[in-house]
Amino acid sequence: MVDLEAAGPVLRAQSIELPSWAFGNSGTRFKVFAQAGVPRDPFEKVADAATVHEFTGAAGKVALHIPWDEVDDYGKLAAYAVDHGIQLGTINANAFQDDDYRLGSVANPDPRVRRKALDHLLQCLEVMNATGSRDLKLWFADGTNYPGQDSISARQDRLAEVLSSVYEQLGDDQRLILEYKLFEPAFYSTDVPDWGTALTHCLALGDRAKVCVDTGHHAPGTNIEFIVASLLRLKKLGSFDFNSRFYADDDLIVGAADPFQLFRILFEVRCGGGFSADSEVAFMLDQCHNIEPKIPGEIRSVMNVQEATAKAMAVDMDALGQAQQAGDVLGANGILMDAFDTDVRPMLAALREERGLKADPMAAYAASGYGERIAAERVGGAQAGWGA
Ligand code: PSV
Ligand code: MN
Ligand code: MN
């Protein structure tokens, strides 16, 4: 038995934050494939994000990456977003694209470089004050390539010191979100490689420091839903960077490689209260569309998260609880699988129509002519930053 009743309120309230960099040209270390019509500045990225929201009704925020999205007047960019029906969201710091960061940023052995990185993070806080953003998301490319290159523990001390200098400057309603990643670009040791390290730093910092789970940042076989359940239990899950991976940090469309994993993750979000009205978990995408068109790629991503959410909400919790309590292993597993195997698309289409949207956002976008219009109007689009 599946229960679709519970899904409606959660899906109506669901908001998935889009990354501004998903709309720019991107690629791999080998090649960036330029696409026609990509944004030439942050304003055009905001316009594209707003277009995804226009067709899905579920993508009301766009995250910025600084300095990729540097503008003279952030208040103006925030007002532009509001004029287009969305808001600016998370501010992502970037202390990884500067010659000074060869040996790391916040954990660099040179105090001058650490100061430079800290200044950048404090500048991001100023951006947040201008945009009204709640979250500062930090991912560091820090680590070492060779055993003996630097002291692992001294690097942790340096990292902790910079994080606490940033944390002290947060406004009352602002949060520091620390993102971990198994490896890359450092290959021997990474300074924030896993949720244990991120959690340890966040616990030391305080209540407004939380962990970001980027679904592409784990070793193959990692039980990501276990991490999600554990962080929610400790009230330390700050946000998701959703994407999907076949091998490593592929940044492909969320739910494309393993929709079952996405369902399992979102089921744990449900169990841990992450969909409740007072939950502060931010559901973000962190993706690049290297070979597929970007706006439809984001629309499809939002729909994939909606579908997995609907399935997670379709689990009959009473029946599941009874089966678990009775030790009915196959029964409990069957209840979960019934929900996963449910076709939730008709229900999502009905919910869209209920709010005046077209039932099929992909088809509606294709028919809108927006893609052709930006291809004709925008000449010389900018690179997302990745693959630069
Ligand atoms: C690092 O791989 C990462 O996931 C971080 O979130 C960065 O800010 C982002 O990618 C940039 O795409
Ligand atoms: Mn990420
Ligand atoms: Mn990543």
The residue among 15, 23, 14, 16 whose CA lies nearest residue 287 is: 23
49, 369 in Cβ contact below 8 A? no
21 CA to middle of ligand 1, Å?
Answer: 10
According to the 3-state scheme, what is the secondary structure of 133-202?
CCEEEECCCCEECCCCCCCHHHHHHHHHHHHHHHHHCCCCCCEEEEECCCCCCCCCEECCCCHHHHHHHH
- Computed over every residue of the chain, the mean pLDDT equals 96
CA geometry: angle 351, 357, 363, nearest 5 deg: 105
Residue 286 alpha carbon, nearest atom of ligand 1? 12
pLDDT value for 124: 98
Q: CB count, 10 Å around CB of 99? A: 5
Any atom of ligand 1 within 6 Å of the Cβ of 386 = yes
User: Does the beta carbon of 142 lie inside 6 Å of ligand 1?
Assistant: no
Closest listed ligand to the CA of 21: 1
Query: In ligand 1, which atom is closest to the CA atom of 21?
Result: 12
Q: Between β-strands 135-138 and 175-179, what pairing exists: parallel, antiparallel or unpaired?
A: parallel
With a 6 Å cutoff on the Cβ, whether 239 touches ligand 1 is no
Using most ligand atoms within 8 A of CB, pick from 65, 214, 240 the residue to mutate for ligand 1.
214
Atom 2, ligand 1: which residue's CA is nearest? 249
ipTM given for this complex: 0.98
Percent of the chain with pLDDT over 70: 98
Asked whether residue 358 carries a pLDDT value surpassing 70, the answer given is: yes
Q: What is the pLDDT of residues 94-122, one digit of tens each?
A: 999 999 999 999 999 999 999 999 999 99
Q: Which ligand is nearest to the CA of 140?
A: 1
DSSP class per residue in 274-322: TTSTT---EEEE----SSS-HHHHHHHHHHHHHHHHHHHHTS-HHHHHH
With cut-offs at 50, 70 and 90, classify the pLDDT of residue 9.
Answer: very high
Nearest C-alpha to atom 12 of ligand 1 is from which residue? 286
d(CA 181, ligand 2 centre) in Å: 8
**Nearest ligand, CA of residue 96?**
1
**214 Cα to the center of ligand 3, angstroms:** 7
Mean pLDDT of 345-368: 97
Atom 7 in ligand 1: residue holding the nearest Cα: 139
Q: What is the homologous superfamily of the domain 14-296 according to CATH?
A: Divalent-metal-dependent TIM barrel enzymes (3.20.20.150)
**The pLDDT value given to residue 387:** 44
DSSP helix, strand, coil percent of the chain (3-state; round to 5) = 45, 15, 40
Within 8 A by CB and 6+ apart from 250, the residues are: 216, 243, 244, 257
**Is ligand 1 within 6 A of the CB of residue 54?**
no
3-state class of 17 per DSSP?
A: strand
Rounded CA separation 164/178 (Å):
12
pTM as predicted? 0.97
